[in-house]
Amino acid sequence: MAKGIRNIEAWEAALIKAMLAAGGMTKDQIVSYFTRPDRTVNPFRLAEIEKGESHSDVEAATPGQVAVYLRTFRSPGEARQRFFEENPLHPVNLRTLFRLKDGTTDILHIEETDRVECKESLHFKQLADYARVIVSFANARGGFLLFGVRDGDKAITGIHSGKLTGYDPAKLNQHLSAHFSPVPVCEKTEMVISGKTVGIIYVRPAAHKPIICIRDERDVLREADIYYRYPGETRRIKYAELVGILDERSRGTEHQWADVLRRVEAAGVENVAILDTITGEVSGHSGKFLIDEKLIPKLKFVAEGHFSEREGAPALRLVGDLETISVTGVHDAKVIVRKERLTDGDLLREFVDQATVENPRLYAGHLAHSAKLWLPIYFFMRQARIDEAGAIKLLSEGPNSKRSHLGAVIRRVRDRSRPSMSRQITAAAAEPERSKLIDMTLGLPETTEQCERLIKAAMTLQPGEIHPDHLLPLLGHCLDRFHEGFGTPLTYAIAYIDIVWHEQLVGATVASAPESA
């Protein structure tokens, strides 16, 4: 085995596996992301990872982890940290954090007791006790709550498999939201160590600290208390830590204002306008105008505090002409997006937004020019009032059609074929997200793992099970926040929903997917 492969760490092997599986890069290109001045990786040896001859026990990274790595690979330390932060519950991270103590077979080696709390058993009647620990982690550096591990000596006792992962997360969230504000963000999983199941809840550091108790429960939770994690214990916050949180909030606000003022100075005060993300009104030195209400949800990232070019936050570009309107209090203009040239992303965006486009035939005909087979088309066919035959004629007659690709597009439109990826996902494997989509109770995905689960669940829905007003905003949320990490799977899911929703509306059956799918 090549020396370079031995130097590849488990988390890097997870990334390599994901990049190899995704395609789109040659082995030489993948190697370039892992070769450093102090380490050379032989591209021919990547096949050993691909075949399972090396790092066979390592699970592939998630699309989100690959995306953050591609942005930070030049700084290995930061890249490793971001790999963890993107998905703390990835098996590679868990095996690194929770390994056995040397010379033992059932005792965990845990050093950071301010970030780990152990419970020997799991009883859901003790939710208040667990909530107290969860909030204490959120107010500090975040942390892990382990079930099936004795607190004193960290011996693994285990819990019944599926007891934690099978618990409805909505119940935990309801308890947290009823007793604390703001609500902490946590994720759960299980892992097997030495043949025993350990339940794990990971709590992310709160974005807005402190989280405060708003309701009493027994003698465990008291209104107005702030809980904080100290080494080995959870308790009411002390003066020094509370002052630290308040100082951090103050510094954060100051940095935000300083950044705004630097931008204003760079652009010139006379060239700056203020955007109200509630009303869509933009006002400045030269007047004011309104942004179409359909575009306002795309701007919510500003209000939510994700306005950072350094972090790669989304940006909205307004393209097109201004159309004069008359609105009470405002008599200037409204932004109308009118496009003569399209990208694949335009089709995805307008579909999840359920937008009425000015030239739907342009959108329907775009598949003749795109390199992608799976993009929404039936949505725009309905707006253009054309059926499959009309769409095939439009695609065939369009200028500059890629004839080698056109046949596959025509077959999928004619047969209403579904992406082959959808046939690999069972309804049972997509639960509980699938049932929640049907019941319209699934919340917005806040992590890449939740987005992955949403994508899988969406691709199991059948005619009669799609509620577009509930489902499409969820997919749009993934498109806004995670599309860079997902790419093809999210595009497939959107194309799949376009097909099945069309069948739901017209009441037709689907043909089998072509081999080219």
Query: What residues pair up with 146 in beta bridges, in sequence order?
Result: 118, 200
Query: How many other C-beta atoms lie within 10 A of the C-beta of residue 243?
Result: 11
Residue 231: how many other CB atoms lie within 10 Å:
8
Most confidently predicted of 148-162, 287-301, 461-475? 148-162
Strand pairing category for 186-193 and 180-181? unpaired
As a whole number of angstroms, the distance between CA 346 and CA 369 comes to 14
Average pLDDT across the chain, whole number: 82
Rounded CA separation 7/31 (Å)? 13
Listed residue (73, 66, 30) closest to 49, CA to CA? 30
Q: What is the DSSP string of 14-55?
A: HHHHHHHHH-SS-HHHHHHTT-BTTB---GGGHHHHHTTSSS
Give me the pLDDT at residue 313, please.
43
For the cut 90, the answer to whether the pLDDT of residue 117 exceeds it is yes
Q: What is the pLDDT of residues 430-465, one digit of tens each?
A: 899 999 999 899 988 888 888 889 999 999 999 889
Please give the helix or strand (H or E) that residue 316 lies within, else none.
none
Please give the sequence-ordered ranges of beta strands (E in DSSP) within 210-353, or none if there are none. 212-213, 227-230, 233-236, 273-275, 281-284, 287-291, 322-324, 333-335
CA distances (Å), origin 296, targets 275, 293, 317, 483: 10, 5, 12, 19
417-435 mean pLDDT: 87
pLDDT at 88 over 50: yes
Q: What residues have CB less than 8 Å from 214, skipping those under 6 apart?
A: 179, 180, 181, 223, 224
Q: How far apart are CA 133 and CA 144, in angstroms?
A: 9
Averaged pLDDT for residues 164-192: 90
Distance of CA 450 to the CA centre of its chain: 6
Q: Which of 54-58, 155-159, 278-282 has the lowest mean pLDDT?
A: 278-282
pLDDT in tens, 298-341: 554 433 333 333 344 445 555 555 555 444 333 333 333 444 56
For the stretch 349-393, pLDDT in tens is 889 988 888 788 888 888 887 778 889 999 999 988 898 888 888
User: 323 has which bridge partners?
Assistant: 334
Sheet-wide strand order for 273-275: 273-275, 281-284, 287-291, 333-335, 322-324
Work out the percent of the chain whose per-residue pLDDT is above 90: 42
Q: Is 237 exposed, middle or buried (0-12, 13-18, 19+ CB in 10 A)?
A: buried
Domains of the chain: 10-91 (no CATH), 116-241 (3.30.950), 344-415 (no CATH), 427-509 (no CATH)
pLDDT by residue (tens digit) across 461-506?
Answer: 998 899 998 999 999 888 887 655 445 788 899 999 999 999 888 8
Q: Work out the pLDDT band at 120, boundaries 50, 70, 90.
A: very high
Q: What is the DSSP letter of 189?
A: E
Is the pLDDT reported for residue 166 higher than 50? Answer: yes
Angle (CA) 138 143 147, round 5°: 115
Cα 122–chain centre separation: 29
pLDDT above 90 (res 240)? yes
